[in-house]
Structures are given as C-alpha cells and as structure tokens.
Amino acid sequence: MTKADIVQAVYARLGGFSKKESADLVDLVFETMKETLGRGEKIKISGFGNFVLRDKRARQGRNPQTGSPITITERRVLNFKASQLLKHALNEGMEGQSGATSSSRATATGTAAGAHGAVAAGSGAANSGGHGPHG
Amino acid sequence: MTKSELIEAIAARGELTKARAEMVVNCVFDAMTEALQKGEGIEIRGFGSFTVRPYKPYDGRNPRTGNPVPVPAKRLPFFKVGKELKELVDSSRLHSPPPSSGETGNLSSASTGTDGEG
C-alpha cells in the first residue's frame, strides 16, 4: 500500500471530496504528523499506535563491514509502539487464536472502544463485541 | 499529540468541519490497519514504512513465575522511519526538550520511568 491507495480509500469511502482534495487531505495528515514529530512531540493514535521519541546517549559501536570500533553519536530516534487493538487486528482469525477473547479484551480497554468499532466496521464485523456504540 | 488533536489540526488547516476531519483521519488509519491485516506493507514516502512480521509459535516464560508458557504463532506490525522524518526527528533534539520532559503533558511523565535504559 502506498499513499495513493490511502487517497483512493478516502475518495471512495467518504464521498464529497474530489480526488485532488482527497490527496491534499492525506498529505495534510502525514505532513501534520511529521511536523509534530519534528517539534519533538510524540503522537498517540488510539486504536493504531503511538509514535514516541527517545533520546539516545552516545555509545560505542562497530562498523559492521570492517569490524572497527566507532562512536555512535547521541541522537533522537522515533519508535512506533503498536496498539493492542492493532496487534489483535493482525491476529484475528489466525489458527489457535480465540476471536472472542480478543474482542472482549478490546472493548475492555475503555477509550479504545470507539476505535475498535471503527476497525471492526472496516472488516465487516461491526459491534461483534456487543459494546460497539460506546463513545 | 493525540488523535483528537490531530483531527483538530486537520480541521483547521484543511478548512473542514471537525466531524469531516475525523472521518478523514479515521479512514486513513482504517485503510492502513486493513492493509496490515492483509499482511501487506505500507510505504509512505518521507514518513516511513510499516511491515508485518510473522512469528512462529515458541515456548516463552512467565517472567514473574518462570513457568513456561506456549506462545502461539502471531503477526506483529513494525514501523521503519523514513530518511526524511528520521533526520527531522533528530534535528528536533537541538531545539526542543528531551521527550521525557513532556510537551503535551498527560501521560508523558508516566513514561519517564521506562526511559532509564534508553
């Protein structure tokens, strides 16, 4: 999937936006996220995951090609921590997994209930947990 | 920044109602979630890429009791930051406080404890 596919989803599913407007809006979403992270601020997208920043101290490392020791300078890095809901979404219907357990767990996570509804609706299983219209 | 703050920013900058902006933001993350569900990767130029890595079942341990527990096969999402965003993030170090000191307030102080090793 590329940004073009996301633009297509916005265009086709929402209606009322031209292709150009859809593209501009998707750009705006990622641009806004980039600017926020570029200010040193983390982003929390409930139901999807958190983009968190960490400051790393300088440390000794090795050039993997030559094996010679080098100093890795201090830096700020971006990590993505996937939400439990996203992890569950990736494992729904996998063998040995209990779908009921994952959905009851998802609705039990409070603020995430709304996002769960959105994700479930996308996969055609809206409100399977019975607590969908919560927030 | 939370999802609702992102929605407000999109509404303001995109000259949309908040309801409309919310639909856009939800649609973006829903589409991404669905792609990952299909096992498909996502590549956003200048931002980064998401991949799904399959894991075989293995025997783990309950870290508290040391008892062995079977871990079933699973798939986990991963994000690899893009070059442009990576450089942008690193340069923010020079003119903004460390992440643990909390720009947004709310939960950031709670994460300070886990930063020790970082």
Mutate to test the interface with B, among A46, A54, A111 (most CBs of B within 10 A): A54
Local confidence band at B100 (pLDDT 50, 70, 90 cut-offs)? low
Predicted TM-score (pTM) of the model is 0.74
Chain A residues whose CB is inside 8 A of the B102 CB are: none
CA angle, A54 then B43 then A124, to 5°:
105
Quick one: DSSP state of residue A73? P
Q: Could you say which residues from 34 to 73 on chain B have a Cβ atom under 8 Å away from some Cβ of chain A?
A: 34-37, 40-48, 50, 52, 57, 72-73
Instruction: Please say if the pLDDT value at position A111 is more than 90.
Output: no
Query: Which pLDDT value is given to residue B94?
Result: 87
Contact A113, A107 (CB under 8 A): yes
Instruction: Output the CA torsion sign for A124, A126, B49, B12.
Output: positive
Spatial CA neighbour of A76 closest among B112, B5, B95, B107:
B95
Arithmetic mean of pLDDT, B85-92 = 95
**Dihedral, B77, B2, A117, A86 alpha carbons, nearest 10:** 10
Query: Which pLDDT value is given to residue B14?
Result: 95
In the CATH hierarchy, which top-level class contains the domain A3-115?
few secondary structures
Mutate to test the interface with B, among A8, A13, A25 (most CBs of B within 10 A): A25
ipTM of the complex: 0.80
Beta bridge partners of A71: A60
* CA nearest to A97 within chain B: B72
User: DSSP string of B23-38?
Assistant: HHHHHHHHHHHHHHHT
Chain-centroid distance, C-alpha A51: 8
Give domain limits for chain A: 3-115
Q: Which residue has the higher pLDDT, B100 or B88?
A: B88
Contacts of A86 (CB under 8 A, 6+ apart): A47, A48, A49, B33, B36, B77
Backbone φ and ψ for B54, nearest 5 degrees, come out as -80, 140
Local confidence band at A118 (pLDDT 50, 70, 90 cut-offs)? very low
Q: Which residue among B40, B73, B77 sits closest to A96, beta carbon to beta carbon?
A: B73
Q: What does the pLDDT look like over B24-74, one tens digit per residue?
A: 999 999 999 999 999 999 999 999 999 999 999 999 999 999 999 999 999
Rounded CA separation B79/B41 (Å): 10
Q: Which residue has the higher pLDDT, B105 or A71?
A: A71
Query: Residue B38: is it exposed, middle or buried by C-beta count within 10 angstroms (0-12/13-18/19+)?
Result: exposed
Query: Which pLDDT value is given to residue B60?
Result: 93
CA distance A18 to chain B (A): 13
Cβ–Cβ gap A77/B34 under 8 Å: no
Spatial CA neighbour of A37 closest among A84, A77, A83:
A77
